[in-house]
């Protein structure tokens, strides 16, 4: 949408500060939580000090909304930015091919053959959703075809609705089950009219936020084997074969510039145990991402095999001849 430019000089800075304060009030007040406070406290200088003070003051719940505020003070586990595109496959080649983002989910409405939304992993907790212009869903969102949806992922959509209402935020769309995308969500708007969605994915293939025990260095999701056909295959026999229990290697030390190993589990099952005793199971059909620094002990329960490759921090594939 076209917006008038904020004038600079003679009140321009003051107006800019007022708009910043209003948006900060929305982020740190209505959407107060760990994620919002991390965003605000990352600012520096006088502006950062003001925002940090504002955030601290906003954390005290009002008497009327104290119960609701306490229930959602944990913030959000993940964030998705949805943008509309004119050609889903062309945009896939750009984001997935040129930028190296990994596809984690296609949303295909029931009874239809083609995906209308494709979601890519940007980091372990942030995602980009490419939305085909879908006449069947646009009337329900109120967003223009060139718009952006800022989606906050939470399993507590109803509690967020109560909390936001207590804070005086108008609910554009109350908590609603959307079977077309298998989601439960609500819509509100920020002070500048941007559409903000709080959403729960009900599709079991949606990537779950990394466990704190994995320290953000391990991601396991039900994935899709796009573009990995040329990757080498590794396999290992199951216990009681002695080879079925081993320490994860420090593979990054012999591969300069590598940031992560990506794997598609082809067959079998294994349990990974981190040094603090946390366990996770990986099995056929899982996409597994090991990031630099992750360590664990493998216990292979069923003969396992995987396709794997290494990637740089910019998302490009690492090869021995082009480190």
DSSP per residue over 87-146, as a string?
-HHHHHIIIIIIS-PEEEEEE--TT-SS-SEEEEESSSSEEEEEEE--TTTHHHH---TT
Our count of domains for the chain comes to 3
Q: What confidence score (pLDDT) does residue 6 get? A: 32
Residue 1 lies inside a defined structural domain of this protein: no
Task: Assess if residue 56 is contained within a domain.
Answer: yes
User: Quick check: is 5 in a domain?
Assistant: no
71 domain residue, yes or no: no
Pair of tokens at residue 81: 């930015």
The pLDDT score that the predictor gives to residue 307 is: 95
Same domain as 47, residue 24 = yes
pLDDT tens-digit readout, 24-40: 556 655 664 433 323 33
Cβ contact 316:100 at 8 Å: yes
Task: Specify the pLDDT at position 237.
Answer: 97
Give the distance from CA 202 to its chain's centroid: 15
Domain boundary among 166, 201, 236: 201
For residues 192 and 229, membership in a common domain is answered with no
176 domain-assigned:
yes
* 65-79, 122-136, 173-187: range with lowest mean pLDDT: 65-79
Query: Roughly how many angstroms between the first and final C-alpha of the chain, as a whole number?
Result: 43
Whether residue 62 is predicted with pLDDT greater than 50 in this model: the reply is no
- Same domain membership, residue 82 and residue 197: yes
- Pure H helices in the chain: 12-25, 34-41, 45-58, 66-71, 88-92, 138-141, 157-166
Are 176 and 186 spatial neighbours (Cβ–Cβ below 8 Å)? yes
The domain of 309 spans 212-318
Q: Which of 140, 174, 201 is the last residue of a domain?
A: 201
Helix axes 45-58 and 12-25, enclosed angle (nearest 10) = 40
* Cα–Cα distance, 209 to 153 (Å, whole number): 10
The pLDDT of residue 78 is 86
Co-location of 250 and 296 in the same domain: yes
Please state which of the ranges 3-17, 200-214, 259-273 shows the lowest mean pLDDT: 3-17
- Identify whether residues 51 and 98 lie together within a single domain: no
pLDDT of residue 209: 61
pLDDT mean across residues, the chain: 75
Cα–Cα distance list, 14 to 78, 187, 260, 271 (Å): 34, 30, 45, 57
- pLDDT tens-place string over residues 42-59: 333 433 443 344 344 334
pLDDT-derived band at 228 (thresholds 50, 70, 90) equals confident
Summarize pLDDT for 138-183 with one digit per residue, the tens: 555 565 655 788 888 887 889 889 988 988 889 999 999 888 888 8
Interatomic CA distance for residues 146 and 118, integer angstroms: 17
Asked if residue 7 is part of any domain, the answer here is no
- What confidence score (pLDDT) does residue 251 get? 93
pLDDT above 90 (res 92): no
The three-class DSSP label of residue 267 is: strand
Whether residues 216 and 135 fall in one domain: no
């Amino acid at each position: 949408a076209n917006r008038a430019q904020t004038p600079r000089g003679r009140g321009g800075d003051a107006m800019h500060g007022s708009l910043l304060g209003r948006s900060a009030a929305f982020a740190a007040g209505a959407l107060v939580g760990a994620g919002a406070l991390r965003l605000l406290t990352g600012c520096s200088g006088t502006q950062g000090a003001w925002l940090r003070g504002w955030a601290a003051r906003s954390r005290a719940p009002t008497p009327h909304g104290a119960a609701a505020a306490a229930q959602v003070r944990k913030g959000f586990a993940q964030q998705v930015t949805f943008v509309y595109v004119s050609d889903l496959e062309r945009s896939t080649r750009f984001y997935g091919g040129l930028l190296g983002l990994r596809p984690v989910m296609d949303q295909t409405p029931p009874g239809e053959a083609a995906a209308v939304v494709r979601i890519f992993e940007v980091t372990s907790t942030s995602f980009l959703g490419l939305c085909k212009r879908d006449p069947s869903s646009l009337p329900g969102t109120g967003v223009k075809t060139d718009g952006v949806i800022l989606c906050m992922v939470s399993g507590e959509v109803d509690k967020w609705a109560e909390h936001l209402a207590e804070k005086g935020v108008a609910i554009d769309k109350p908590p609603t089950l959307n079977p077309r995308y298998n989601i439960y969500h609500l819509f509100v708007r920020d002070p500048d009219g941007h559409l903000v969605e709080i959403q729960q994915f009900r599709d079991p293939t949606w990537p779950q936020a990394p466990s704190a025990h994995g320290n953000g260095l391990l991601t396991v999701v039900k994935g899709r084997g796009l573009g990995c056909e040329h990757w080498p295959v590794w396999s290992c026999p199951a216990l009681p074969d002695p080879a079925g229990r081993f320490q994860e290697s420090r593979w990054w030390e012999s591969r300069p510039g590598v940031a992560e190993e990506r794997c598609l589990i082809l067959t079998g099952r294994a349990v990974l145990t981190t040094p603090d005793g946390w366990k996770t199971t990986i099995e056929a059909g899982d996409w597994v991402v090991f990031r630099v620094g992750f360590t664990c002990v493998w216990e292979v329960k069923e003969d396992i095999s995987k396709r794997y490759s290494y990637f740089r921090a910019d998302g490009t594939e690492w090869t021995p001849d082009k480190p």
